[in-house]
Amino acid sequence: MLMADSSELRAYRTKLFRDALEMKKPERVPHLSYAVTWKIFDAGHKLGQALHDYELMEQIVREHQQKYQFDAMTDYGLRNPYRVSEALGTSFYEINDENDSIFYRTDFTFCSNEELDQLAANPKKFMYEVMMPRKYPNFNGSMPARQFQRVVEEKQAFAAYAGHINQVMTEEYGLPKYVAPMPGMFLACENLFNIVRGIRGFSMDMRRDKGRLHAVLDALSEAFLTPSIEKLLKMPKGPNPDYCFDGQLFFMAHTVMNNRQYEEFQWPYVKRILDAMVASGKHIRIYVQGRMMDRLADYFKDYPRGYFAFHLEGDDLFETRKKLPNCALIGGIPADLLGHGSKKECLALTQRLIQELGSDGGFILSQDKMLTYRNDANPENLKAICDYVNAQ
């Protein structure tokens, strides 16, 4: 489609997303890039260099869009601000440029089971006094302010890059703004699962220490979720049409919960957020790791149509559409197929997804997970899909 300028193209693309999200028939199905570090390999660079050099990262992000012409990108090289944490002397990411790998250390817990009472008593105090020194050994009694000043400077450099790249991609490439400013929605289970207790610790707490786990979930939610919901409900009501989405959430902790545990530990807090989103008229993207909708879809089926778009990693989108006709779906293209399938297979699946899920709205084509490693996508397969979508 020929556009006079980037602002017209941006408005066109934003409307594609908004129509799909609100379950209206869009002019065509929008295509969302979920490429993160894969972009670096595709542009012929190494992780270690690109993740520390904002000028190089800008070049990589530009190349990604020039080559594939997506309708929006989830990441402009902003996902992992390595330089900020490294200014304090520690990184939890291990980058290996010899085999192009990047790993996050998960063999760590920042709070023992015995310390849950302490965490519940004052979450901010515990985070500051106990978790920070554990994660960053240089954050200790002899730390001079000038060492932390380096963190501040890196934070400011990162923010400057973020502002610049957002402006470049919006004004030069006609890409829509991705997620509107909104108070961060804190899910206590996700926080414990991903950061504070780790997968093993959180799983053990659910089985052996329910009382203390409930106390921690309530304390964390009171400290970090309640204020965000209060702010959200004071914001102007309705969607922000300048952005693809009004907000986003990530569901991961359900992967270690059975249905009873989900009902008991996770759902009460998820419900608070979803109810507040509906009350404030906000439309959000929810990324779902692993599988969820094969057993937990009923929780979402009675919400009004067009508020939530589930980006599904492991669930079958065709089956989920039958269970949740009120929710938009995002994804559909498995990284495994992109990386190892044929161009013909990729195009056949794309065609089917668009015809069966997108013809009347409610579908955004994307990859099923963050494209991270070199083999997460064959560039020729991805290009073929992009060309097909853009020719619609």
Partner 1 sequence: MENEAAQKDYLTYPQGFSNLAEDLELPYESKEQREAYLWTIIDGLIKM
**Where along the sequence are the contacts to partner 1 (CB under 8 A)?**
80-81, 84-85, 88, 92, 110, 122, 124-125, 127-129, 131-133, 135-136, 139-146, 148-149, 151-152, 155-156, 195
Output the smallest distance, CB 391 to partner 1, in A: 40
Residue number, 144 or 304, with CB nearest to partner 1 = 144
Residue number, 25 or 125, with CB nearest to partner 1 = 125
**Max CA pair span of the chain:** 63
Output the smallest distance, CB 123 to partner 1, in A: 10
The CA distance from 133 to 129, in Å, is 7
State the residue for tokens 């089985």: 207
Residue number, 2 or 145, with CB nearest to partner 1 = 145
Contact 35, 73 (CB under 8 A): yes
Residue number, 22 or 86, with CB nearest to partner 1 = 86
Output the smallest distance, CB 197 to partner 1, in A: 13
Output the smallest distance, CB 138 to partner 1, in A: 11
Residue number, 7 or 156, with CB nearest to partner 1 = 156
User: How many CB atoms lie under 10 A from the CB of residue 284?
Assistant: 22
The CA distance from 91 to 172, in Å, is 34
Output the smallest distance, CB 189 to partner 1, in A: 15
Taking Cα atoms as reference points, which of 165, 16, 65, 56 lies closest to residue 383?
65
Residues in the chain: 392
Helices (H) and strands (E) in the chain, counts: 20, 11
Write the DSSP assignment of 309-332 as a string of letters.
Answer: EEEESSS-HHHHHHH-TTSEEEEE
Residue number, 163 or 379, with CB nearest to partner 1 = 163
Structural tokens at position 351: 């065609």
Output the smallest distance, CB 89 to partner 1, in A: 11
Residue number, 79 or 352, with CB nearest to partner 1 = 79
Q: Tell me how far CA of residue 373 lies from CA of 59, 102, 342, 369, 383, in angstroms.
A: 19, 8, 18, 11, 17
Q: Tell me how far CA of residue 124 lies from CA of 79, 109, 118, 131, 263, in angstroms.
A: 24, 17, 11, 10, 27
Q: What is the DSSP letter of 302?
A: T
| Cross-strand bridge partners of residue 72 | 32
| Cross-strand bridge partners of residue 95 | 102
Output the smallest distance, CB 317 to partner 1, in A: 29
| Cross-strand bridge partners of residue 73 | 33
Output the smallest distance, CB 129 to partner 1, in A: 5
Residue number, 40 or 87, with CB nearest to partner 1 = 87
Output the smallest distance, CB 161 to partner 1, in A: 15
Determine the 3-state secondary structure of 297 from DSSP.
helix
Residue number, 103 or 128, with CB nearest to partner 1 = 128
Contact 185, 273 (CB under 8 A): yes
Output the smallest distance, CB 143 to partner 1, in A: 6
The CA distance from 390 to 365, in Å, is 12
Q: Tell me how far CA of residue 262 lies from CA of 227, 253, 299, 370, 374, in angstroms.
A: 24, 9, 10, 25, 35
Residue number, 88 or 354, with CB nearest to partner 1 = 88
Contact 243, 176 (CB under 8 A): yes
